[in-house]
Copies of this chain bind each other. A is one copy, B any other.
């Protein structure tokens, strides 16, 4: 199992992510051109998430996707969250 780390340590390795309010988690809001692009982003990430058996919490309304990442087994943020965050950032920058 991946080791839990301080969310601040995780955020330091990423761009535009924040500590989630009350939780041992990191969060970022992605905005896209429209719903199709936002849902395309989610679909591509869903496949990656399933492959890695590590899933996001996410809220979508129209062109916006609010993501929260944490590793439930570890009770906090782990390398798995950083890896998934980086995949999301890379894809979002392509779709922008």
Contacts and interface: CB of A to CB of B under 8 A. Distances in A.
Contact of A59 (B39, B43, B50, B57): B57
A28 interface: no
- Give the size range of A's interface with the partner: 10 to 19
Interface in A25-64: 35-36, 39, 42-43, 46, 49-50, 55-62
A57 B58 CA distance: 11
Given A39-B46, A46-B39, A57 B60 contact: yes
A61 B50 contact: no
A59 B62 contact: no
Nearest to A59: B59
A42 B60 CA distance: 11
Contacts of A56: 61
Interface of A: 35-36, 39, 42-43, 46, 49-50, 55-62
